[in-house]
Amino acid sequence: MGFIPYLIMILSNVSPLPAIIAGRRYRGVLWYYALVCITADVSSLVFKQLDKDHIIVSNLFFFTEFIIVSSYFISVLSYRKKMTVLIPLILVGSFYVYHTIAGMVNYDSPSDIAYNYYGASLFYITYIIFSLLSLFRVMQKVDEVRLERSPLFLSGVAFLLYASGALFLLLFKDLIAKADLRLFGNLWIYFFLPLNIIKNLLIAVSLHYAIVASRRTI
C-alpha cells in the first residue's frame, strides 16, 4: 500500500477525534456516535494486524450505528412522528439481526462470516431519508436559524453524504468487483473514506454549535 492510501486510512480512523473533543462536555447522542466510530475503527485495525477476524466488529458497528443515528434523528421529531417511524425502524433492525445471525449459523467456521451488506444498505437508506427530512425541517425555519450554524443541518448533510456514498458502493459492489476488484478498492479508499472523514468533521462542527446553542438557553 502506498503512502497516500495509508494516510487516508489513518485519517479516516482518527477523524472522530475532533467530535469527541468538541463534544466532551456536551455528551450528546452524536458524541457517543463518534466514540463508537473510533472504537470500531481501532478495534478493526487491531484485529487486522493480529490476523484475526474483524468482520464481526464491522457487523456489530453497522447495527450500533443504526441505533445511535436513528435515536438522534428521532429525538427531533414530534411524538406522533416518532410513533410513525418506530415500527419501520424496528422491522429494519430486526431484519438485520436475523440476517446476520442466519449468516453466522450457515457458515462452517468463523473465518467464513461475511459482511451483512444487505442489512447495511437498508440502514443507509434510512439515514438518507432521515437526513432529507431533517434538511427539509431546517429549511422550513430558515428565517430563525443560520444554516451553517444549525446542528441539525450540519448533521443532516454529514449523514446524507456518508450514507449516499456508502449505499452507492454497496449497490454496485458486485458489478465493480467483478469487473475490476482493484477499482473497488480504490473507490473505497479515495471516495468513501474521504466522505467518512467529512462526515466526522461535520459532526464535530455540529456538536460545537449544539454546545453554543445550549449555552444560550441557560
123, three cell numbers: 440502514
Mean pLDDT along residues 185-206: 94
200, three cell numbers: 466526522
Please give the pLDDT value at position 47: 83
Q: How confident is the model at residue 30 (pLDDT cuts 50, 70, 90)?
A: very high
Please give the pLDDT value at position 110: 46
Whether residue 55 is predicted with pLDDT greater than 50 in this model: the reply is yes
C-alpha span between 9 and 65 (Å, rounded): 20
Cβ–Cβ contacts within 10 Å for residue 110, how many? 11
Tell me the one-letter amino acid at 101. Answer: I
Give me the residue spans of the domains in the chain: 3-217
* Total length of the chain: 218
Please give the pLDDT value at position 164: 96
Mean pLDDT along residues 136-157: 82
CB 33 within 8 A of CB 69: yes
Q: How confident is the model at residue 104 (pLDDT cuts 50, 70, 90)?
A: low
Tell me the one-letter amino acid at 180. Answer: D
Whether residue 162 is predicted with pLDDT greater than 90 in this model: the reply is yes
3-state secondary structure of 15: coil
CB 145 within 8 A of CB 212: no
Which residues touch 89 (CB under 8 Å, ≥6 apart)?
Answer: 70, 74, 126
Nearest to 30 by CA among 209, 166, 206: 206
Cβ–Cβ contacts within 10 Å for residue 125, how many? 14
The per-residue pLDDT of the chain, averaged, comes to 86
Is pLDDT larger for residue 77 or for residue 167?
Answer: 167
Nearest to 164 by CA among 133, 103, 207, 121: 121
Strand ranges (E), the chain: none
CB 142 within 8 A of CB 122: no
pLDDT digits (tens, 9 = 90+) for 69-78: 999 999 888 7
Q: Does domain 3-217 fall into CATH 1.20.1070?
A: yes
C-alpha span between 135 and 123 (Å, rounded): 18
Residue with cell 427531533: 76
